[in-house]
Chain A
Amino acid sequence: MLEAVNISFESLNMATLTPMLVAIVGALAILTIDLFKEEMDKTLYIVLTILFLVADLSTVLGQTMGERGFFDVMLIDGLAILAQIVLLIGSIIFIPLAFSSQRFHEYRYPEFFALFLFMTAGFQFMVATDNLILIFVGLETASLALYTLIVLHNKDKSFEAAIKYFTMGALAAGFFAFSGMIFYGLTGSVELFKIFEVLEARNFEPMILILTASVFMLASFGFKMAIVPFHTWGPDVYEGSSAALAGYISIVPKVAAFVVIMRIFEGLIASGIVWIEYIFYAIVVLTMTLANIWALVQKDVKRMLAYSSISHAGFVMAAIMIGTTQANSAIFVYWILFSFTNLGAFAMLWVSHKKDSNYHERFDHPFEKFSGMVKMSPLSAVLMGLFMLTLAGIPPFSIFWGKLYLVSSAVNAGYLVLAVIMVLNSAIAAYYYAKLIVYMFMKEPETGVDGSVYMMNASISLKVMLGIAAFFTALSIFIVNPVLELSDFFIYSSGF
C-alpha cells in the first residue's frame, strides 16, 4: 500500500499560479454571465476582458522571482515574469480593437472573449514552467482557442485559414511529442533543468539522438511561429483572419514560443553539438531573407505585413542563437517595440475595413486601396507612413533601436557575418515598406473613391489605440531606455 501524502497549502506556493487563475476565472465569469442573461452588448464583455487582463497583469507584477510552486512544476523566473508582462500588455492593447463601429460576427459571441482569456492563460502556462508536459498542454490550450477565434470571423477564407493552421498545428503537436519522447528516453525526465543535468553528465552522447530531438523540437515550434521553411500557412492565416486578430497572431503567440525555444535551446546550442547551431543558423538566414523576398512581390498589404513579421521573427531567432545575455535582452526590447508598431499597422488596416470591398476580387487591402491616400485623408496617411517607416527601421523611430541593439549584440558575440546579413535584410525590407508609402503619397487616387473608407470602421476607442501606438512609435527614443533596463533586469536576474 502507498502511504497517504500530506501537503501543506504553503508548500504549493499559490502565488505562482494566481495570474493564470485570474484569467481562467474571468473566462468562466463571462460564460456564466451569458448563461444568465443572453444578448448582452459586446461592450460589457470587452470591458470585462480588459479588467481581468489588468488584474492578471497586476498579479504578475506582484510575483517574486526565482520561485517554484506546485511540486516544482511552475517556475517563475525573470524570463517568465517578463514574458507574461509582454504577453498581457499585447493582449490588453489588442482586445480594444473589438470596439469597431461595424458589426462583426465574432463579437456576437461572448465565447469569443472567454476563449481569448483561456488562450492568454494557456500562453502564460507555457512560459511559466520548465516541464515539457505543461508546456505541451498550455500550448495546445492556447492553439485550440486560437483556431476557434479565427473561425469565428465566419468567412470562407477564415475557415480555410483555420483548417490550414490546424493541420500544421496537429503535425507540430506530433513532432513535439516525438521530440519530448526522445528527451525522456535519454534522461528519464521531462523537466528541462533535469534534462540538461543528465545530458551534461552523459557528455551529450549519443549526439545523433539529441540532434534528432532538437530538429523535431525546432520544427514543432517553427510551425507554431511560421519560420521558414515551416511558414507556408502563415500568410494565409493572416489573410483569412480579421486584421485585428492577424495583428494579435503576429505578436503574442510568438512571444510564448520564443520563450520556450530560449529555455530549450539555450543549453543545446551551448552543448558543443555544432550541428544544432548550423541548423539554427540556416533557418535564421532563410527566414530573414526569403520572407523579405516574398514580401516584395505581394499585392496585398496584409500579406505583405505577414511576410514582414515572419522576417522580424527571424531577427529574434538570430538573437536566440547568439544566446548571450545582451542578445536575450535584445529579443524583448525588439519585440516590445515591434508590438506597438505592428499594432498600429494592423489597426490602420482594421479601421479601413469595408464590407463590400470592390478594390480587388480577392484582397481586402490591396496596395491600390491606399493610392493617393494623402490627398483624401492626410492624417491617416501620415500615421500609416509613420508605421511603415518604423517597421523599415528608419531612425529615430522605435524598431531602429531594437535592431541597433540586436546587431550590436551580434557583433559583440563575434557573429560578424550574421550582423551583415541582418543589416542587408533591413535594407531589402525598406523597399517594400516604401512601396506602400509611394502608393499613399505619390500616386493619384483612383476615380470614384472618397476618403471615408480609411476611417470606415473607426470608433473613439480605436482612434485612441491608434494614438497610443503612434505615440510609442514616434517618441520611442524616450521609452527605449526604460524598456532596455526592464528587460536587462529580468534577463540578468534569471541567468539567461
Chain B
Amino acid sequence: MFETIAFYTFSFLTILAFAITVTTKNVLYAMSSLAGGMIIISGMFFLLNADFLGVVQIIVYTGAVIALYAFAMIFFDSTKDIVETKTGKTFFILTVLSSVMLVLILTIPMASGQVEALYPIHEGVGNAQDVGMVLFTKYLVPFEVAAVMLLVAMIGGIIMAGKKMDKNLTEIKENEE
C-alpha cells in the first residue's frame, strides 16, 4: 500500500516537473523544476532499495550538475523569456505519435522468469557495501575509465573557458604576436 501511494505520488511529480522543464519559456523555472524532478527520482531509488544510488543521485545531480548549470546562468541572461521558433506541425505530431508508440511497446512485460542474478543483492547487507563489492571487483576497469573520462571533461571544460582561447593563432598572421 505504502509503495503504491509513494509510486503514484512520485511519478506524478516527476512527470509534472520534467514536463515543465521542457515546455517553460523561463530558464530559471526550467532549471528549478529539473532539480526538483531529480530529487524526486532519488525518492524512487530509495523505494527500489537502491539507497546508495539515491544518495549519489542527490549529490551528483543536484549538488554538481544543477549547481554547474546555476553557475553557468551567471553568463547567460536568464531573466528574459526564451523566444524560439515553432517546430513544424507534422514534425510535432510525428514526435508525439512515436512517443506514444514507444510507451505502448514498453508495456510488454520484458523480464524473464529464468534469469538468474549474476551479482546478487545479499539479504541483511547494506546496499552501499553490496555496491562497493561489485564496483571494485567486476566493474573496476569501467570505474577507472570513468575517472579518466572525468579528467578529460575537466581538461576540456577548463581549456574551453580559459583565456588562451580569446586570441586565435589559427587566424592571425604568422609573425604577429
User: Which chain A residues have a beta carbon within 8 Å of chain B's beta carbons?
Assistant: 1-2, 5, 7, 17, 24, 31, 70-71, 73-74, 102-106, 108-109, 111, 114-115, 118-119, 121-122, 125, 129, 131, 133-134, 137-138, 140-141, 144-145, 147-148, 151-155, 182, 185-189, 194, 198, 201-202, 206, 208-209, 212, 242, 355
Contact = CB atoms under 8 A, between A and B. Distances in A.
B141 A74 contact: yes
Contact of A198 (B102, B115, B125, B151): B115
A2 B105 contact: no
Contacts, number: 136
B115 A145 contact: no
A24 B144 CA distance: 11
B152 interface: yes
B141 A70 contact: yes
A108 B172 CA distance: 14
A111 B174 contact: no
A206 B108 contact: yes
Contacts of B118: 188-189, 194
A137 B149 contact: yes
Q: Chain A's interface: helix, strand, loop or mixed, by majority? A: helix
B4 interface: no
Contact of B125 (A2, A74, A242): A2
Given A2-B125, A141-B149, A111 B159 contact: yes
Given A115-B155, A188-B112, A188-B118, A125 B169 contact: no
Contacts of B151: 118
B66 to A, nearest CB: 17
A118 B152 contact: yes
A227 to B, nearest CB: 19
B102 A212 contact: yes
Contacts of A119: 152
Contacts of B110: 182, 185-186, 206, 209
Given A134-B141, A154-B169, A185-B110, A145 B129 contact: no
Contacts of B130: 2
A154 B165 contact: yes
A272 to B, nearest CB: 18
B133 interface: yes
B5 to A, nearest CB: 25
Contacts of A145: 152, 156
A141 B129 contact: no
Interface residues of B, number: 44
A11 B6 CA distance: 45
B145 A137 contact: yes
Interface of B: 102, 105-106, 108-112, 114-118, 122, 125, 129-130, 133, 137-142, 145-146, 148-149, 151-153, 155-156, 159-160, 164-165, 168-174
Contacts of A141: 145, 148-149, 152
28 contacts: A17-B141, A24-B148, A70-B140, A73-B139, A73-B142, A104-B169, A111-B159, A121-B148, A131-B142, A133-B139, A133-B142, A137-B142, A137-B149, A141-B149, A144-B152, A145-B152, A148-B156, A185-B111, A187-B112, A188-B116, A189-B118, A194-B118, A201-B114, A202-B112, A202-B114, A208-B108, A212-B105, A355-B170
A107 to B, nearest CB: 9
A75 to B, nearest CB: 11
B41 to A, nearest CB: 14
A328 to B, nearest CB: 26
A118 B109 CA distance: 41
B52 to A, nearest CB: 14
A188 B117 contact: yes
Contacts of B115: 187-189, 198
B103 to A, nearest CB: 11
B137 A5 contact: yes
A67 B164 CA distance: 45
Contacts of A154: 165, 168-171
Contacts of B168: 105, 154-155
Contacts of B111: 185-186
B125 to A, nearest CB: 6
A144 B108 contact: no
Contacts of B112: 186-188, 198, 202
A208 B101 CA distance: 12
B3 to A, nearest CB: 20
Nearest to B130: A2
B170 A115 contact: no
